[in-house]
Amino acid sequence: MNEAHDAVDVIRAKRDRRELSDSQIDWVIDAYTRGSVADEQMSALAMAILLNGMNRREIARWTRAMIASGERMDFSSLSWPTADKHSTGGVGDKITLPLAPLVAACGVAVPQLSGRGLGHTGGTLDKLESIPGWRAGLSNEEMLKQLADVGAVVCAAGEGLAPADKKLYALRDVTGTVEAIPLIASSIMSKKIAEGTGALVLDVKVGSGAFMKTVDDARELARTMVDLGTDAGVTTVALLTDMSTPLGRTAGNALEVRESVEVLAGGGPADVVELTLALAREMLAAAGRPAVDPADKLRDGSAMDVWRRMIAAQGGDPDAALPVARENHDVLATADGVLVSLDAFAVGVAAWRLGAGRARKEDPVQAGAGVEIHAKPGEEVRAGQRLLTLHTDSPEKFERAISALDGAFSIAPHASRPDLPPPLIIDRIAR
């Protein structure tokens, strides 16, 4: 049994910039999970952590305490190695959909526990639920069987996995403490370490559409998570990737599934293909399979075969027509020239307001809602050309979505030679 402490003393310690002891951390996580520490007390502690930070020892101990609050999964019975990917969230970030079957087609099993969208960032489970019949909830036994049979599974985390994180995550979302790097790192890594994967590749987004707005903050988060994973015996690597512009040419659930299938068919937007292949190569190398070229598996159709089996194994129909929104509205270019910028955050908010996202976890989403992108930065446009198409079942939502896009894009004259968009992959962090 953990040594008893007092919640107010723990709050005061972090408020006054003191280090929390191992026993304080173990106690407060356990007591909060059991309901002995109230939400308002944990809210105060989360704010103190946001303002005053934690050192590496504190973050590592906090993460271990979150893992200890629940069960740990074990994939050692599988005949192939495992690797997972986690993205810190962005706009149009559909990478998990083509990535999981692609890596599985290369001989590495992918146990991908994913989440739902909240606010301007999309959720992988919401995207997949736009496929008729597909279900997110699997038991641990069903997940293990699908990994053995298919090689890839994307599903919701079970109730028993890091329950402290589930409770704390919901609290952070409504108390303005989501951005605390120690809490982001421990939230992500407690689930991933408890999940039991042998290797982990982190896609840490940076830019207007990401939680980390600066490269320095993104690098600090990436380094913290790489250290946590490595110290826990999980081979962990992070890529810093640009989220100033949406990924691909869609933001919205069924729209992104359609685009993901295009990638698996050997097509799709260049940036989605580039990032999918880069993350696949990192996952294969971390899992000890660096000699396999994932690009071959896109070309020969084997990644698509795994996708179809993965969707069908969870009750989905890979041949079913995807939902289409009943109403659409075009946003037009205002001048001739080169599109210089397209703000990811603004596009994400517009998709959210159209019905693709939710303000609260319990809100429904529209499967067909979202934003279709007809021009990306660096491309030439003509006045009156379609830049974006907005999709929704609820036409009354257009006005607020359009207002979110005010100032979201800029067009420069041809002669001005605007700067090219930043590189998609900014940095790589490893031990």
DSSP code, position 211: S
Task: Count the helix, strand and coil residues of the chain and give each as a percent rounded to the nearest 5.
Answer: 45, 15, 40
* Active-site residue (options: 26, 126, 165, 203): 165
Q: Tell me, yes or no, whether 202 and 313 share the same domain.
A: yes
- In the chain, the amino acid numbered 353 is R
- The domain in which residue 219 lies consists of 84-158+170-320
**Alpha-carbon distances, residue 370 vs 94, 105, 134 (angstroms):** 13, 30, 20
**pTM here?**
0.93
Residue 396: burial class (beta carbons within 10 Å; 0-12, 13-18, 19+): exposed
Q: Tell me, yes or no, whether 189 and 315 share the same domain.
A: yes
Domains in the chain: how many in total? 3
Q: Does residue 392 belong to any structural domain of this protein?
A: yes
Q: Give me the residues paired with residue 202 across strands.
A: 86, 238
**Alpha-carbon distances, residue 120 vs 210, 354, 355 (angstroms):** 9, 11, 11
- In the chain, the amino acid numbered 354 is L
* Active-site residue (options: 64, 172, 205, 289): 172
Question: Angle 198-168-345 (CA atoms, 0-180°, nearest 5)?
Answer: 80
To the nearest 10°, the Cα dihedral for 87, 88, 94, 95?
-20
CATH assignment at residue 40: 1.20.970.10
Question: Angle 183-256-355 (CA atoms, 0-180°, nearest 5)?
Answer: 75
* Active-site residue (options: 187, 190, 208, 260): 187
> Cα(306)–Cα(182) distance, rounded to whole angstroms?
36
* Active-site residue (options: 14, 61, 64, 86): 86
Q: Does residue 237 belong to any structural domain of this protein?
A: yes
H-run or E-run covering 197: none
Q: Does residue 101 belong to any structural domain of this protein?
A: yes
Q: Does residue 425 belong to any structural domain of this protein?
A: no
86 catalytic? Reply is: yes
- In the chain, the amino acid numbered 266 is G
Q: Does residue 77 belong to any structural domain of this protein?
A: no
Strand pairing class (337-342; 250-252): unpaired
Q: Tell me, yes or no, whether 130 and 263 share the same domain.
A: yes
> Cα(2)–Cα(21) distance, rounded to whole angstroms?
12
CATH assignment at residue 355: 3.90.1170.30
Q: Tell me, yes or no, whether 271 and 242 share the same domain.
A: yes
The two three-digit tokens of residue 10, written as one number: 């723990």
Which of 320, 351, 376 is the last residue before a domain boundary?
320
CATH assignment at residue 251: 3.40.1030.10
Q: Give me the residues paired with residue 391 across strands.
A: 328, 370
Question: Angle 126-128-132 (CA atoms, 0-180°, nearest 5)?
Answer: 110
Question: Angle 49-51-55 (CA atoms, 0-180°, nearest 5)?
Answer: 50
- In the chain, the amino acid numbered 275 is L
Token look-up 């693709």 returns 356
187 catalytic? Reply is: yes
Q: Tell me, yes or no, whether 395 and 346 share the same domain.
A: yes
Q: Tell me, yes or no, whether 293 and 331 share the same domain.
A: no
Q: Which residues of 8-34 are buried (b: 16+ CB within 10 A; e: fewer)?
A: eebbebbbeeeebbbebbbbbbbbbbe
Q: Tell me, yes or no, whether 251 and 293 share the same domain.
A: yes
Q: Does residue 206 belong to any structural domain of this protein?
A: yes
Which of 272, 299, 320 is the last residue before a domain boundary?
320
Q: Tell me, yes or no, whether 277 and 410 share the same domain.
A: no
What pLDDT digit, counting tens, does each position of 312-355 carry?
999 999 999 999 999 999 999 999 999 999 999 999 999 999 99
Q: Tell me, yes or no, whether 100 and 228 share the same domain.
A: yes
- In the chain, the amino acid numbered 249 is R
| Under 8 Å between Cβ of 354 and 238 | no
Q: Tell me, yes or no, whether 376 and 307 share the same domain.
A: no
Neighbour order of strands in the sheet with 327-332 = 250-252, 370-373, 386-392, 327-332
> Cα(82)–Cα(111) distance, rounded to whole angstroms?
7
Count, in order, helices (H) and strands (E) of the chain.
16, 13
What pLDDT digit, counting tens, does each position of 93-110 carry?
999 999 999 999 999 999
Give Cβ neighbours of residue 76 (< 8 Å, ≥ 6 apart).
Answer: none
145 catalytic? Reply is: no
Q: Tell me, yes or no, whether 186 and 98 share the same domain.
A: yes
Which of 263, 292, 320 is the last residue before a domain boundary?
320
Q: Does residue 75 belong to any structural domain of this protein?
A: no
299 catalytic? Reply is: no
297 catalytic? Reply is: no
Per-residue pLDDT tens digits of the chain, which is 431 residues long:
456 789 999 999 999 999 999 999 999 999 999 999 999 999 999 999 999 999 999 999 999 999 999 998 989 899 999 999 999 989 999 999 999 999 999 999 999 988 877 667 778 999 999 999 999 999 989 999 999 999 999 998 877 888 998 889 888 878 888 889 999 999 999 999 998 999 999 999 999 999 899 999 999 999 999 999 999 999 999 999 999 999 999 999 999 999 999 999 999 999 999 999 999 999 999 999 988 999 999 999 999 999 999 999 999 999 999 999 999 999 999 999 999 999 999 999 999 999 998 776 677 899 999 999 999 999 999 999 999 999 999 999 999 999 999 999 999 987 666 677 779 999 999 98
Q: Tell me, yes or no, whether 267 and 401 share the same domain.
A: no
